[in-house]
Chains A and B, each alone.
Chain A
Amino acid sequence: MVHDLVGEIQALGAWFADPANWSGYDGIPNRMTEHLVICLLSMIAALLIALPVGLFIGHTNRLSFLAVTLANIGRAVPSYAVMALLFPLSIAFSVAGPGGDIAYLATFLAMVLLAIPPVVTNTYAGLRGVDGDLLEAARGMGMRGHQVLRRVELPLALPVMLTGMRVASVQVVATATLGAVFGGGGLGRYIVQGQARRDDARLWAGAILVALLAVATELVFAWLVRRADRNVHGAVGPSDPDGPVSPAVLPGSASSRPSS
């Protein structure tokens, strides 16, 4: 079977041009909003958990081994499996009716779990990466622990912390798509529907919309990281915002980014 690429692209164009796909419950605005809302909610919940933990272990250097190990294990837990395990619970807690999303709780919790590890490890790595001399100077100036954290450690660690949030957000935006497999909403619906109805245009449209959203997320965070970097290093940003990624590391081994 020869694949008719031109025909596919035309069908895709027609799909996006069809006003029916821009309105109503199954329209792009609603599905996009659903996708964004669940990603935002899970990122907020993940930050509420991960930031205090990361800040605590980074600032005090206590319990770091435990937190880093847990974060590494967390990375090994597949979101798909988490959703499958939580799905029965999710159905039990969903509300009936057209707005009742039976996969909401499962998707939300899986996304929170997905986002926590990169935020914890990068917050920790960011704080540990702050020059020890600066910390001593800050204490020498009479700053207390929380003042050192707020005025010295946080601003200097911000670029690395934001990089963690960026990794987490992009992963969440891409992975929240899986919720649709379990009957959830969001842009994944188009992919699931496209596959079920053998409607390639719909399927491609879903894939493209999620990819666009993920790229947009990446760009927003890249901009935030650059801004934070400029605050730290003045006008010349020496570090590569697209630096390498590293599994959580303990002090003494390589940091998550090359030192700047």
Chain B
Amino acid sequence: MNGKPLIDWAWIQGHLDDIWALTVEHIVLAFIAVGIGFIISFGLSLVAIRWRSSYGPITAVAGLLYVIPSLALFAILLPITGLTPLTAEIALVSYTILILVRNTVTGIDGVPIEARDAADGMGFTGRGRLWHVEIPLAMPLIVAGLRIAAVTTIGLVTVSALIGQGGLGRLINEGLRTSFPTKTITGAVLSVVLAIVADVGFVLLLRRLTPWTRPRGGTS
């Protein structure tokens, strides 16, 4: 290198406000994408469970969206929706759907037949059984899908810097453009930290959602 330190700590200290603003933008972009993706996928999963024959076509379309490179999707949407957060969100949402639908449907399919029988025996009707028995039991796989969707989305948000969005991705790009590695490293490291925080957050959420999986204490 050219003698300068790789990380300019003074710059970071002087720009904490900017870094924080970009981090918030990153979180908001990812949160909206995973949130909307989850709502759409949950709806599609219910459709796929109700009408079995729709599962194949739904996953085929979601799979096609999944393999279109993010760069291409951003670029394709650009003439239509412009340099707006909408362009980023459409692409980001489309990547979550395959993972979330697959995991939700497989999770509900995997509910043991005994649990279903027991639910029927307790007088649950179709919809009550779905919401009170099958979906809670499918929670580990649903949350596993959310973990992957969240981690993937947080990474992909950095790419949306190419279309004027990007949160921490902007920092990565600026660092690259101005040959100032501090910015690139800061953006990359914080984006990884966000992904890990989201991943751990979902693990903790799952623990709260499925209290029956925890070993019980002495007083039982």
Residue of A nearest to B198 (CB): A76
Which of A81, A204, A253 is the one whose CB lies under 8 Å from B76? A204
Interface pair A247/B71, CB less than 8 Å apart: no
Q: With A195-B75, A218-B67, A244-B144 as given contacts, are A181 and B162 in contact (CB-CB < 8 Å)? A: yes
Docked Cα-Cα span, A217 to B42, in Å, equals 28
Q: With A81-B158, A81-B188, A88-B181 as given contacts, are A175 and B69 in contact (CB-CB < 8 Å)? A: yes
Within 8 Å CB of A247, what residues of B? 144, 147-148, 151, 199
Q: With A76-B192, A84-B188 as given contacts, are A207 and B72 in contact (CB-CB < 8 Å)? A: yes
Interface pair B76/A207, CB less than 8 Å apart: yes
If over half of B's interface residues share one DSSP class (helix, strand or loop), that class is named, otherwise mixed; here it is: helix
Interface pair B156/A78, CB less than 8 Å apart: yes
Residue of A nearest to B166 (CB): A80
Interface pair A177/B69, CB less than 8 Å apart: yes
Within 8 Å CB of A138, what residues of B? none
Interface string of B155-178 (1 = CB under 8 A from A): 110110010000001001101100
Interface stretch of the complex, out of B31-39, B99-107, B114-122, B125-133:
B99-107
Docked Cα-Cα span, A152 to B155, in Å, equals 38
Within 8 Å CB of A173, what residues of B? 67
In this complex, the member of B70, B73, B78, B175 whose beta carbon has the largest number of chain A beta carbons within 10 angstroms is: B70
Docked Cα-Cα span, A174 to B106, in Å, equals 25
Interface pair A84/B151, CB less than 8 Å apart: no
Within 8 Å CB of B185, what residues of A? 85
Which of B69, B110, B187 is the one whose CB lies under 8 Å from A174? B69
Interface pair A240/B106, CB less than 8 Å apart: yes
Give chain A interface residues in 141-182, CB to chain B under 8 Å: 170, 173-175, 177-178, 180-181
Interface pair A215/B175, CB less than 8 Å apart: no
Give chain B interface residues in 43-82, CB to chain A under 8 Å: 59, 63-64, 67-73, 75-76, 78-80
Residue of A nearest to B196 (CB): A76
Is B154 close to A, CB under 8 A? yes
Interface pair B72/A245, CB less than 8 Å apart: no
Considering only CB atoms and an 8 Å cut-off, how many residues of chain A contact the other chain? Answer: 48
Interface pair A191/B144, CB less than 8 Å apart: no
What number of A-B contacts does a CB cutoff of 8 Å give? 148
Interface pair B69/A210, CB less than 8 Å apart: yes
Minimum C-beta distance from A32 to chain B (A): 14
Docked Cα-Cα span, A211 to B71, in Å, equals 12
Is A72 close to B, CB under 8 A? yes
Give chain A interface residues in 18-62, CB to chain B under 8 Å: none
Within 8 Å CB of A87, what residues of B? 176
Minimum C-beta distance from B63 to chain A (A): 7
Interface pair B199/A84, CB less than 8 Å apart: no
Interface pair B110/A258, CB less than 8 Å apart: yes
Within 8 Å CB of A206, what residues of B? 72
Interface pair A207/B73, CB less than 8 Å apart: yes
Residue of A nearest to B65 (CB): A211
Give chain B interface residues in 82-125, CB to chain A under 8 Å: 99, 102-103, 106-107, 110
Is A77 close to B, CB under 8 A? yes
Is A109 close to B, CB under 8 A? no
Interface string of A77-120 (1 = CB under 8 A from B): 11111101101100000000000000000000000000000000
Binding site for A on B (CB under 8 A): 59, 63-64, 67-73, 75-76, 78-80, 99, 102-103, 106-107, 110, 140-141, 144-145, 147-148, 151-152, 154-156, 158-159, 162, 169, 172-173, 175-176, 179, 181, 184-185, 187-188, 191-192, 195-196, 199
- 6 nearest A-B residue pairs (beta carbon): A207-B72, A76-B195, A78-B155, A81-B188, A214-B67, A177-B69
